[in-house]
Amino acid sequence: MNENQDVRFAAVGDLHCTEASAGTLRGFFAQASEAADALLLCGDLTDYGTPKEAKVLADELSVVSVPMIAVLGNHDYESNAADEVRRTLQAVGVQVLDGEAVEVHGIGIAGAKGFAGGFGRASLGSWGEAAIKQFVQEAVHEAFKLESALAKLRTQHRIALLHYAPIVGTVQGEPLEIYAFLGSSRLEDPLLRYPVDMVVHGHAHRGALEGRTMGGTPVYNVAKPLLQRCFADQPPFRVLRLPAPRPDAAKS
């Protein structure tokens, strides 16, 4: 990567690949691969999380010639085969992050699926029935995964990769009644402690394209249905840029 160049990331989530998608995503992936230096996949990669859907997606991804980094989404867990979905994608070179971090073209990427629970003062609290506490614990656990991934990164520039939204700003446009199922402010806490240059997520198909964390970090909702609606004349991925690291820069 030339020091004067930006590193370009093509980001998209919510592909919801089905068995019927065979042959239909290649052109899209080829365009994304051509337009960027790496591909970020923000969960709900499959529709029902079946091994067959994962195989179709893996075959479609064969046209991609740049690094591929992904997190899984809630749909990828539906058939209790998330491990197989993960392995199938890993077999074709996708780096599937679940509380881990990787470095791509000198940019650090920390990834976790995230979870639901609501935002700000409307967040579900850990109180009352054991089932409620378990639900909240799941969000806390996902936030911890994100934090431990972020803590590992020493790169100059960093991206957080999620499926669920960490802020309310990028779910706006969805019905108010379902906000609490679209993400959790608990995911924002690690982003304030370990600053990143940008956050990408999916899941909120009818949300808003962009928002900011309390710390001012841009957050991009790249759910494919949202991109298709907002950028009808373009292929549904978002190209996001970060400066390539300077060769002489001390890592901070």
Q: Which residue is nearest to Fe ion (CB)?
A: 44
Measured from the CB atom, the residue of 14 and 174 that comes closer to Fe ion is 14
**C-alpha distance from residue 52 to each of 18, 56, 59, 61, 184 (Å):** 8, 6, 11, 14, 31
Minimum distance from CB of 178 to Fe ion (Å)?
Answer: 11
Measured from the CB atom, the residue of 55 and 163 that comes closer to Fe ion is 163
Measured from the CB atom, the residue of 14 and 142 that comes closer to Fe ion is 14
Site residues, Fe ion (CB under 5 A): 14, 44, 73-74, 203
Minimum distance from CB of 198 to Fe ion (Å)?
Answer: 20
Minimum distance from CB of 73 to Fe ion (Å)?
Answer: 4
Q: How far apart are CA 237 and CA 223, in angstroms?
A: 9
Measured from the CB atom, the residue of 143 and 182 that comes closer to Fe ion is 182
Q: Hey, how many other C-beta atoms are within 10 angstroms of the C-beta on 89? A: 24
Measured from the CB atom, the residue of 19 and 34 that comes closer to Fe ion is 19
Minimum distance from CB of 76 to Fe ion (Å)?
Answer: 9
Contact status, residue 75 vs residue 40, Cβ threshold 8 Å:
no
Residue 36 neighbours by CB under 8 Å, 6+ apart: 8, 9, 10, 66, 237, 239
Minimum distance from CB of 71 to Fe ion (Å)?
Answer: 11
Question: Edge-to-edge strands of the sheet including 210-212?
Answer: 100-104, 107-111, 158-161, 198-201, 218-221, 210-212
- State which H helix or E strand residue 221 sits in: strand 218-221
Measured from the CB atom, the residue of 81 and 242 that comes closer to Fe ion is 81
Residue 213: both structure tokens together:
């964390």
Query: Angle 215-218-220 (CA atoms, 0-180°, nearest 5)?
Result: 140
Q: How far apart are CA 54 and CA 48, in angstroms?
A: 9
C-alpha closest to that of 109 among 221, 199, 3 = 199
Minimum distance from CB of 7 to Fe ion (Å)?
Answer: 26
